[in-house]
Amino acid sequence: MTPMFLLILVVFQNSIIITIATSKFTIPDATILQIQSAFTHNHLTSKQLVQFYLTQIQKLNPIYKAVIEINPDALVQAKTADQQRYNKTPISNSPLHGIPVLVKDNIATKDKLNTTAGSYALLGSVVARDAGVVKKLREAGAIILGKASLSEWAHFRSSDAPSGWNARAKQAVNPYVASVDPCGSSTGSAISVATNMVTVSLGTETDGSILCPSSNNSVVGIKPTVGLTSRSGVVPISPRQDTVGPMCRTVSDAVYVLDAIVGFDKYDASATQKASKYIPKDGYLKHLNSSGLKGKRLGVVRDYYYFGFGNDTETLNKFEKHFKILRRNGAILVENLKMIDFERILSMASDEDIALTAEFKSALNAYLKKLVASPVRSLADVIAFNKKHAHLEKIKEYPQDLFLAAEKMNGTSKLEKEALINLKKASKLGFEKLMNDNNLDALVTPKSSGSSALAIGGYPGIIVPAGYDKSGAPYGICFGGLKGSEPTLIEIAYGFEQATKFRKPPPIKI
């Protein structure tokens, strides 16, 4: 801390306000850019920032259960970051330098933190190295504050378990309306940024796991094209659909994180190599353009709105208002579109289930085998563990039906092969054809209702807060595009966010 400025720390309505001369900076809801500016002007240190979040976690996490573990070295890492900034070490120019990040508990960190996907079966397992995305975060100077809670095994153990529940952290709670499903599986990643327990977080998605909790907790989520971000060191469901992405309070924060985590990783070589052609040479930041909606062709498939909300005219009317906003800001709405065989594509859900169930077994077994040490080495071991520790893992309440179904799969059945062919066909004739035939930049869907169309083909999507219903429950608007369309989606999402600024912090009363 430089003695040049008079620093006054005031605790005001539970938020630390740091006042220096004429400038005012408050940590809650501060963006990466605002935090970096406060660092530069010696209004804030990383240590103060980490301390604020640790206090916030201590206060709020007993209620919201968004954080599963805190990194005992976070404060030390913050002090190092402050020293680097003071010494003008090159890394301190990185936008993420000294910024605390929570990563979902299915993302490996080679430190004192456990990586368990919320399950006691993985407690005590030792990972070989940081996940590819964590390595990139550390290279960008970020501080790993801890692990965010999740639906256990990314919701691939039990179809009866509620979203946001895992045996270790218990049930996460929606900070806007406690009775509303917080959605999953990246539940803690969403809630922790919504409630200012951290600056930014990472989630993972196989189908809806970033988009849905972002929608229900009023944060921005980016579900990148599969392979754009490495999945190495991530407890898998399906390498065909799994992706890692940022969950943040603003589009700008999410894009700063995305910019840091994309790219080649030799431990997920094939997919990250293939997707590396989509990464703009000069990165994603310049696509944060508030005129980004200008001239963008946005497709509206009404079936999604009726599928999502039935005849809930209130919600439908809200989206009509959003369409007006999009038009007013220069977007061209292409209406009355039909996804070819919309119903058939919806029924692809069963093909998706078959494919994921088959892929899960071999992907999980491969993950478990690569661990340096682990109480479990195969899906069969995990099933046996859960039987043995039925009470701890609440097996009676939330049976491991998805595990049992996956264990029966052998990757060679006709059913599995057919499912994969059907999924490919559905993507080509459904989403891709719709986008290409109508020359669309993005498909606009309410909440996360379009997640399966994006999931089965590995397409990207960005969800942005879009309002609150009568009860105060949040919902988002999602922009999905063809593979590698992140730059365009960022322009659209940022344009919408800047024109609306719908997000408001949750009504926390403590």
Task: Write out the catalytic residue numbers.
Answer: 104, 185, 209
13 binds ligand NAG (CB under 6 A): no
The binder of ligand NAG chosen from 57, 102, 107, 113 (CB under 6 A): 113
* Of 473, 369, 348, nearest in space to 419 by CA: 348
* Smallest gap from residue 2 Cβ to ligand NAG (A): 32
The binder of ligand NAG chosen from 58, 124, 317, 328 (CB under 6 A): 124
183 binds ligand NAG (CB under 6 A): yes
Q: What distance in Å separates the CA atoms of residue 432 and residue 37, rounded to the nearest whole number? A: 42
Q: Give the pairing type, strands 100-104 and 143-148.
A: parallel
The binder of ligand NAG chosen from 210, 258, 473, 489 (CB under 6 A): 473
Q: Decide if 133 contacts 229 (C-beta within 8 A).
A: yes
Residue 133: enclosing H or E segment and its boundaries?
helix 132-139
> How many positions of this chain bind ligand NAG (CB under 6 A)?
26
* Smallest gap from residue 375 Cβ to ligand NAG (A): 10
The binder of ligand NAG chosen from 291, 313, 347, 436 (CB under 6 A): 291
Q: In terms of CB distance, is 83 or 291 closer to ligand NAG?
A: 291
Q: In terms of CB distance, is 8 or 415 closer to ligand NAG?
A: 415
Strand ranges (DSSP E) for 197-291? 200-205, 220-223, 243-248
Contacts with ligand NAG, 398-437, as mask; x by CB under 6 A:
------------x-xx------------------------
Torsion of CA 317, 322, 325, 329, to 10 degrees: -150
The number of helices, as runs of H, and strands, as runs of E, in the chain is 18, 16
* Smallest gap from residue 84 Cβ to ligand NAG (A): 24
Q: In terms of CB distance, is 212 or 248 closer to ligand NAG?
A: 212
In the range 218-277, which residues lie near ligand NAG by CB under 6 A? none
- DSSP states of 21-88: TTEEEESTT--HHHHHHHHHTTS--HHHHHHHHHHHHHHHHHHH--EEEE-TTHHHHHHHHHHHHHTT
Q: Decide if 338 contacts 301 (C-beta within 8 A).
A: yes
The binder of ligand NAG chosen from 42, 75, 129, 181 (CB under 6 A): 181
CA atoms within 13 A on the CB side of 146: 23
- Angle (deg, nearest 10), helices 313-328 and 486-500: 100
Q: Give the pairing type, strands 461-468 and 474-480.
A: antiparallel
Instruction: Tell me which amino acid residue 141 is.
Output: G
The binder of ligand NAG chosen from 46, 56, 77, 114 (CB under 6 A): 114
Q: Decide if 262 contacts 224 (C-beta within 8 A).
A: yes
Q: What distance in Å separates the CA atoms of residue 221 and residue 212, rounded to the nearest whole number? A: 9
* Smallest gap from residue 86 Cβ to ligand NAG (A): 28
321 binds ligand NAG (CB under 6 A): no
Q: What distance in Å separates the CA atoms of residue 218 and residue 497, rounded to the nearest whole number? A: 12
Q: In terms of CB distance, is 130 or 265 closer to ligand NAG?
A: 130
Q: Residues with Cβ < 8 Å from 186, sequence gap 6 or more?
A: 104, 148, 150, 201, 203, 204, 205, 209, 210, 213, 214, 221, 247
* Smallest gap from residue 145 Cβ to ligand NAG (A): 11
The residue assigned the tokens 């900070």 is: 175
Strand partners, 360: none
* Smallest gap from residue 290 Cβ to ligand NAG (A): 8
Q: Give the pairing type, strands 23-26 and 67-70.
A: unpaired
In the range 50-79, which residues lie near ligand NAG by CB under 6 A? 69, 72
The binder of ligand NAG chosen from 84, 199, 206, 216 (CB under 6 A): 216
Q: Which stretch binds ligand NAG (CB under 6 A): 235-243, 289-297, 339-347, 395-403?
A: 289-297
The binder of ligand NAG chosen from 469, 472, 499, 505 (CB under 6 A): 469
In the range 77-106, which residues lie near ligand NAG by CB under 6 A? none
Cβ burial, residue 182 (10 Å; 0-12/13-18/19+)? buried
112 binds ligand NAG (CB under 6 A): yes
475 binds ligand NAG (CB under 6 A): yes
Q: In terms of CB distance, is 306 or 323 closer to ligand NAG?
A: 306
Which residues here bind ligand NAG, judged by CB under 6 A? 69, 72, 112-114, 123-124, 180-181, 183, 212, 216, 286, 289, 291-292, 294, 306, 310-311, 410, 412-413, 469, 473, 475
